[in-house]
Amino acid sequence: MQKKFLSSLSLLLLLNILVKPLYILGIDAEVQNRVGQETYGMYFALLNLSFLFNILIDLGINNFNNRNISQNEQLLGKHFSKLFSAKALLALCYAAVTLGLGLLLGYAGGDFWILSILVFNQVIVSFILFNRSNLTALQLFKRDGIISVLDRALLIITCGALLFFNVSDREFQIEWFVYLQSLCYFLTLLVSLWMLGKRKGHLHWKFDWVFSLHIFKQSLPYALLILSGSIYTRIDGIMLENLLSDGSTRAGHYAQGFRFYEAACMFAFLFAVLLLPIYSRMLKESEKVRGMVELSSRILLGTGVYAAVLFLFHSDWLLNWRYIHVEDEAVQAFSALMVGFIGVCMFYIYGTLMTANEDLKALNYISYGGLVINVVLNIFLIPKYFAFGAAISTMLTQLFAGCIQLLFVVYRFRFGMNYRMTAQFSIFTLAFFFVNDWISSEWENAFHAFALSALSGIGLLFLSSTIRVRQILRLIRAEG
């Protein structure tokens, strides 16, 4: 199982490394440069609003379906159309709630139109994720890997043509970006349906009240978990835009660093996509999960600490390299967000195991606690520290949730303390911190300092045995 995890993860990472950085650095960041901080800041707030209640589209069906089909593959054809139809009705509820909230917040005219299209996009994305939950449950990881990057690849082609090849004589409009997202998401949805092929059965309208209510009842804990997580992850941009007189501009500053933070979270999410069905199957077959947990911790958590330390010292270089105008506020916010990324990595390792083990009550309590902490901190910190205050709120919330989940998993599964791994992580973190501090003070060229720090960190990951080469090679050579 560990070998399959590594091979599937390698493919997913390769595809995402080839596509998503190009989209983030070449397309999304360039859109912000073209339309300006205020316009992009408003788009960023509207985008976060569209994310806030997107769980209403499926009420946790995707996660429930992934776990259920991974353990009972024969149910896919029987359940697919019923769940697809239920999600279509839920999409109408989501649209009504989100657009209604948009009106209450005072969005009108062009802003409300953009919000409407973003709501439509979220509906399509939810159906794509539903199809991906079936692909991963069937352990069709290669097909899922293609779908995971297809929408971004299409956006690179279509939006890149408008940005860089003078297809239009007009200045780039934020509305064009939103429309192209709709087109690319829709094409990706069609491809994902085709990839499921005959396994899904004949797709048709088949709403079943009894079946749907049964699924909603079982998946409600998933829905509550995702809802609270969505709020404390996405509410920062909305509160920035609404609490400050120049909120759109401040949200634009926050978005500069958040773009890279979100990209890192996307890569971490790939682990959860693979780990959830693997954990579920291992638990069903009464296999010991400690080895898988330690392997994913070494790779993902080690990478999270690496990224946090690296950008704690070099966030200013990265932002100034990509954006035309960068404020100190944006640099500070980015550094704080990347420290919070460590908590995100912990969630995707330990929270995913809790989900597979159906410890959802505990996960929800942790998430509710994180939500309260995040909102309270935002209320106090945003008016005083602006984008940096929002980032501090996110950082503390993610670290709080991740640490509590780690402690719960250690207690629940009786793992005990792994002193060797703890020592290896500590040695790596301290060594990498001091190496970055020395390089930053000795090298005047910012790019050279960043490159040297990045390479040094990779070397330290292996020298400290935080990531163990022998273990990975042994799994690759194994036959099963």
In this prediction, residue 447 carries a pLDDT of: 93
Higher-confidence residue of 148 and 379: namely: 379
The dihedral through the CA atoms of 102, 104, 105, 111 has a sign that is positive
Confidence of residue 203 (pLDDT cuts 50, 70, 90): low
pLDDT at 204 over 60: no
In this prediction, residue 479 carries a pLDDT of: 37
Q: Is 208 left (phi over 0), alpha (psi -120 to 50) or beta?
A: beta
Higher-confidence residue of 471 and 381: namely: 381
**What is the identity of the amino acid at 135?**
L
Tokens of 76: 């896919």
Confidence of residue 255 (pLDDT cuts 50, 70, 90): very high
pLDDT at 473 over 70: no
Which SS3 state, helix, strand or coil, does residue 169 take? Answer: coil
**What is the identity of the amino acid at 309?**
V
CA distance 281 to 152: 31
CA distance 390 to 262: 15
DSSP assigned state of 201 = -
Length of the chain: 480
- SS3 sequence, 219-268? HHHHHHHHHHHHHHHHHHHHHHHHHCCCHHHHHHHHHHHHHHHHHHHHHH
Average confidence (pLDDT) over 94-99: 96
Confidence of residue 432 (pLDDT cuts 50, 70, 90): very high
Do 48 and 122 contact (CB within 8 A), yes or no?
no
Tokens of 209: 């009240």
pLDDT at 81 over 50: yes
Range in 48-62, 214-228, 373-387 the model is least confident about: 214-228
- Using a pLDDT cut of 90, give the percent of the chain over it: 53
Average confidence (pLDDT) over 209-219: 74
Rounded to the nearest integer, the mean pLDDT of the chain is 86
In this prediction, residue 311 carries a pLDDT of: 95
DSSP assigned state of 285 = T
Tokens of 313: 């010292």
Whole-Å CA distances, 219 to 135, 208, 324, 366: 19, 16, 45, 18
Count CB neighbours of 325 within 10 A: 13
CA distance 369 to 397: 9
**What is the identity of the amino acid at 283?**
L
Which SS3 state, helix, strand or coil, does residue 386 take? Answer: coil
In this prediction, residue 478 carries a pLDDT of: 42
Residue in the block written with tokens 């939006």:
159
pLDDT at 36 over 80: yes
pLDDT one-digit tens code per residue, 388-407: 999 999 999 999 999 999 99
Do 181 and 155 contact (CB within 8 A), yes or no?
yes
CA distance 316 to 295: 32
Tokens of 434: 């001091």
**What is the identity of the amino acid at 9?**
L
Whole-Å CA distances, 448 to 51, 236, 332, 438, 453: 38, 34, 21, 13, 8
Q: Is the pTM of this model over 0.85?
A: no
